[in-house]
Amino acid sequence: MALPKLNTPTYELELPSTAQKIKYRPFLVKEQKILMMAQDSGEDQQIAEAMGSLVSSCTFGKVDAETSPMFDLEYVFLKIRGKSVGETVQLSLICPDDGKTTVAVDLKLDDIEVQMLDNHTNEINISESVKVFFRYPLLNDMKSMDKDSTDIQKVFHFLVNCMHEIHYDDDVYRRIDLKDKEIEDFIDQFTGEQFEMVTNFFNSMPKLRHTIEVTNPKTKVKSEVVLEGLESFLG
């Protein structure tokens, strides 16, 4: 006699980047095992690949892990995680007023949203005649990064990979037609002010963000702690 097949519930969410509504389901034990094995490996590339595969499966292929912005993937993963292992996660946060006292906080994952700034744009005016257009980082950008990269190497990695087009007067140079070295040489010409302008695209791009008020049990001082990025919400 065959064992019964279990029905898996489905839910609905709205993708931050497009406002498209999609169905999703909790992850299954077989998928959780793959994710846990990746986490145990400590390899960022393996973890990213496992997360992307899980998101694609749990959204019935509606979210393409290879072409979706990372903030979409992280948001969807958080929603899936909430329906799979619990809507609340306990975090240990450091009180900002003394920088050492920790407090335990229960956070509802449903409260976490992707924050989008009104003045954010992917079009950067480098000069009167030069504009650059960026795309958002993808999973492949994370997977292709050297795990031993320094912070400045990571910045250049994303600048080179995510620069979509360069407009010079009426000429358009597409990233797909350019070599990495050509992009690197182009960036090396930037002044400090111009470099800050392009890096601000990444600093201000949509991201998981949530503000929590904590009270220091020793000093009784109330402070706000800002959490950003997927890792901040996983406990």
pLDDT (tens, 9 = 90+) of the chain, 235 residues, equals 788 887 899 999 999 999 999 999 999 999 889 888 888 887 777 888 899 999 999 999 999 999 999 999 999 999 999 999 889 999 999 999 999 999 999 999 999 999 998 889 999 999 999 999 999 999 888 777 766 677 778 788 889 999 999 999 999 999 999 999 999 999 999 999 999 999 999 989 999 999 999 999 999 999 999 999 888 887 6
Question: Can you state the angle between helices 70-85 and 44-58, rounded to 10 degrees?
Answer: 70
pTM for this model (two decimals): 0.88
User: Do 72 and 63 contact (CB within 8 A), yes or no?
Assistant: yes
The H or E element containing residue 64 is none
The number of CA neighbours under 13 Å toward the Cβ of 34 is 14
The number of CA neighbours under 13 Å toward the Cβ of 24 is 28
Residue 45 neighbours by CB under 8 Å, 6+ apart: 142, 143, 145, 147
Q: How far from each other are the two terminal CA atoms of the chain, in whole angstroms?
A: 42
Distance CA 27, CA 135 (A): 29
